[in-house]
Amino acid sequence: MLQSSENSFLKSGSPASNPNTFNPVKTVTAPVDQATIGRTLVIKGEISGSEALYIDGRIEGKITMPESRVTIGRNGKVDASIQAREVVIMGKVNGNIECSDRVDIRAEGSVSGDISTVRISVEDGAALKGGIQVHSDGKGHQSQSQAKPEPPKALAATASA
């Protein structure tokens, strides 16, 4: 019986040890990949960081995640300005959004505020109240800044001619 117990332990221990060593890797990387603000949480203040953020609760203040994705879930209510690389909205946002890559407003989402982004997607059924500024990516945006002084010169030349 000792041998059969050892054999069953080894048989069950070997496969179980492989998933156990693999599962901690998943649980260790999951929190680093995305932080979650749950449905019952209310946060007033400033949120900043470098990992993805999923909001299903309520936020009031300012969200600054310049290199990350911010997702407002279906139950999420955000009364804040948002600065992020990518913003996905399935809940309600009251505030301005500044995005370096993409804003995606899903069918059940609503935004009341100005949006500045490179790309935007608004699904049928989504609500959007505010201004939209779509600009080229970072390199093009810098060249536009350099090009801004030139048009007044051209206008001045046109005005004097």
Domain spans in the chain, listed from the N-terminal domain onward: 33-142
User: Whole-number mean pLDDT of the chain?
Assistant: 78
Would you state the structure tokens that stand for residue 18, as one six-digit string? Answer: 């492989």
Q: What integer pLDDT is reported at residue 159 of this predicted model?
A: 42
For β-strands 127-129 and 110-112, DSSP reports them as parallel
Give the mean model confidence (pLDDT) for residues 92-117: 97
Query: Is 130 exposed, middle or buried, given 0-12, 13-18 or 19+ CB atoms closer than 10 A?
Result: middle
Residue 158 has pLDDT above 80, yes or no: no
Task: Please tell me the pTM assigned to this model.
Answer: 0.66
Q: What integer pLDDT is reported at residue 137 of this predicted model?
A: 74
Q: What integer pLDDT is reported at residue 18 of this predicted model?
A: 54
Q: What integer pLDDT is reported at residue 22 of this predicted model?
A: 52
